[in-house]
């Protein structure tokens, strides 16, 4: 039997600043981090909205010399990883460094660096492009820099599956531990995608909300008036370990990851399969991996970004798998609070699920005033719900038809 895998540390950066506590407080209060973009002039864009981490100061935990050579997304990864390691108490030494790995996902990586250097190329010529351009831009540099800064020399890689990147990174990390290739992994997702080109592209594609006059109500998962997602930014990095390794060193155990399901839609570059068939495969696979039935799940954090096609497809996938139990499992989306953090979304929402387990409080979906999906879904709306939460499911789906579902539960010896 493969080893059990537990989470021993969590570091989160979001529109609410540093720390999971700040994000969880916003969840409890139903307070959104979405507003008009401040980091650049977005007045000419169809969408001017984002959930930005406006006052991020990496110097608290990252050497300023390193920060200058790291894209914003990599800075997020480094900062969140440092928090997670501190919470976990995991010390990386010469004796264990070969058995500790890094697997971090990002959907679009160093987009800001790419934009800035391309602008320099056009204005000042090729000789003025920074020699750090490519190392700063490439997505694997998030995991690469974390490895360099921590000394972790085990499996080291990046995962890129659009909005499912961070959740897929965690799935890979769990499998690496279960197969004995590592005893601990620094894993999760980091994203700094609120940039000029990314915003322009998503706007042209009609994927984002255009409610610039009402940011607070722009993101509307499962609601009939939804018109697109709203980008967020930040990171959530976790320390996952084999249970024996964590117990041996007396680590604080946050939760246990017990099920993983992955699938592909094989349908479209941006749209999910309308019948939810691909996502349903991942949901069922996660339940099978965990050895659970639908009735064992106490809460589902849906991917539900607030897009017309995405929400409808996910609702159908949940009905297909949960069947008669669909009315008994509370479901919500927290994206109206922290925004759609692209590759960092999955780990961030899983971290919110951990808080739901610890406090026995189920987050509610903001702005879901008139649900237009199957009425049997138990959508938590209006305010958080007090209820026992022992086992949670967290869905992440990405452009290209990439689906990953994680199931976690409260740890019991």
The string of pLDDT tens digits covering residues 312-342 is 999 999 999 999 899 999 999 999 999 999 9
From CA 337, how far away is CA 365, in angstroms rounded?
9
Domain ranges of the chain: 5-255, 260-409
Instruction: Verify whether residue 268 is a known catalytic residue.
Output: no
Residue 126 pLDDT > 50, yes or no? yes
Instruction: Verify whether residue 402 is a known catalytic residue.
Output: no
Average pLDDT over residues 104-119: 97
Task: Give the total residue count for the chain.
Answer: 413
For 260-311, write each residue's pLDDT tens digit: 999 999 999 999 999 999 999 999 999 999 999 999 999 999 999 999 999 9
Query: What is the percent of the chain where pLDDT is above 70?
Result: 100
Query: What is the percent of the chain where pLDDT is above 90?
Result: 99
Asked whether 85 and 122 are in contact (CB, 8 A), the reply is: no
Q: Which of these is catalytic: 338, 340, 364, 402?
A: 340
Average pLDDT over residues 240-264: 98
Confidence band, pLDDT 50/70/90 cuts, at residue 143: very high
Instruction: Verify whether residue 217 is a known catalytic residue.
Output: no
Residue that has been written with the tokens 């255009």 in this structure = 210
For 20-69, write each residue's pLDDT tens digit: 999 999 999 999 999 999 999 999 999 999 999 999 999 999 999 999 99
In this predicted structure, what is the pLDDT of residue 413?
A: 82
Is the pTM of the predicted complex or chain greater than 0.95?
yes
CA distances to 54, 117, 218, 342 from 51, rounded to whole Å, are 9, 25, 11, 12
Average pLDDT over residues 171-186: 98
Average pLDDT over residues 157-177: 98
Residue 246 pLDDT > 70, yes or no? yes
Q: Which of these is catalytic: 168, 245, 303, 402?
A: 303
Residue 399 pLDDT > 60, yes or no? yes
In this predicted structure, what is the pLDDT of residue 28?
A: 98
Q: Phi then psi for 261, rounded to 5 degrees?
A: -135, 135
Domain 260-409 - what CATH class? alpha beta
5-255, CATH topology level: Peroxisomal Thiolase; Chain A, domain 1 (3.40.47)
In this predicted structure, what is the pLDDT of residue 9?
A: 98
From CA 252, how far away is CA 254, in angstroms rounded?
6
From CA 155, how far away is CA 184, in angstroms rounded?
10
For 188-240, write each residue's pLDDT tens digit: 999 999 999 999 999 999 999 999 999 999 999 999 999 999 999 999 999 99
CA 231 to chain centre: 12
Asked whether 301 and 384 are in contact (CB, 8 A), the reply is: no
Identical fold, 5-255 and 260-409? yes
Average pLDDT over residues 76-91: 98
Q: Phi then psi for 361, rounded to 5 degrees?
A: -130, 125
In this predicted structure, what is the pLDDT of residue 1?
A: 45
Pairing, β 330-332 against β 299-301: parallel
Q: Which of these is catalytic: 163, 353, 368, 394?
A: 163
From CA 179, how far away is CA 301, in angstroms rounded?
28
């Amino acid at each position: 039997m493969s080893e059990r895998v537990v989470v021993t540390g969590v570091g989160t950066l979001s529109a609410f600043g540093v720390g999971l506590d700040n994000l969880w407080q916003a969840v409890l209060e139903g307070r959104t981090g979405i507003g008009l973009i401040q980091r650049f002039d977005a007045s000419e864009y169809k969408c001017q909205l984002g959930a930005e981490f406006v006052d991020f100061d990496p110097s608290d935990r990252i050497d300023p010399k390193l920060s200058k050579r790291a894209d914003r997304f990599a800075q997020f990864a480094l900062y969140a990883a440092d928090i997670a390691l501190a919470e976990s108490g995991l010390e990386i030494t010469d004796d264990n460094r070969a058995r500790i790995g890094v697997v971090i996902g990002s959907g679009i990586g160093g987009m800001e660096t790419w934009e800035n250097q391309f602008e320099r190329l056009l204005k000042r010529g090729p000789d003025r492009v920074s020699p750090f351009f490519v190392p700063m831009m490439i997505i694997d540099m998030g995991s690469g820099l974390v490895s360099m800064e921590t000394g972790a020399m085990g499996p080291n890689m990046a995962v890129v599956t659009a909005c499912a990147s961070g959740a897929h990174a965690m799935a890979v990390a769990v499998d690496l531990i279960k197969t004995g290739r590592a005893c601990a992994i620094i894993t999760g997702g980091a994203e700094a995608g609120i940039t000029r080109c990314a915003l322009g592209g998503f706007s042209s594609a009609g994927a984002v909300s255009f409610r610039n006059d009402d940011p607070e109500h722009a993101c509307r998962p499962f609601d009939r008036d939804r018109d697109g997602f709203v980008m967020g930014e930040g990171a959530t990095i976790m320390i996952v370990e084999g249970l024996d390794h964590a117990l041996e060193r007396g680590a604080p155990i946050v939760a246990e990851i017990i099920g993983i399901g992955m699938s592909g839609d094989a349908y479209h570059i941006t749209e999910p399969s309308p019948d939810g068939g691909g996502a349903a495969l991942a949901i069922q696979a996660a339940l099978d991996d965990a050895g659970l039935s639908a009735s064992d799940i106490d809460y589902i954090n849906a991917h539900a970004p607030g897009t017309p096609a995405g929400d409808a497809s996910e609702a159908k996938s949940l009905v297909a798998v949960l069947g008669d139990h669909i009315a008994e499992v509370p479901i919500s989306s927290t994206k109206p609070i922290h925004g759609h953090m692209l590759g960092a979304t999955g780990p961030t929402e899983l971290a919110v699920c951990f808080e739901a387990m610890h406090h026995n409080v189920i987050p509610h979906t903001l702005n879901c005033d008139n649900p237009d999906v199957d009425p049997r879904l138990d959508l938590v709306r209006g305010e958080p719900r007090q209820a026992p939460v022992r086992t949670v499911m967290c869905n992440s789906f990405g452009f290209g038809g990439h689906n990953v579902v994680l199931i976690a539960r409260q740890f019991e010896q």
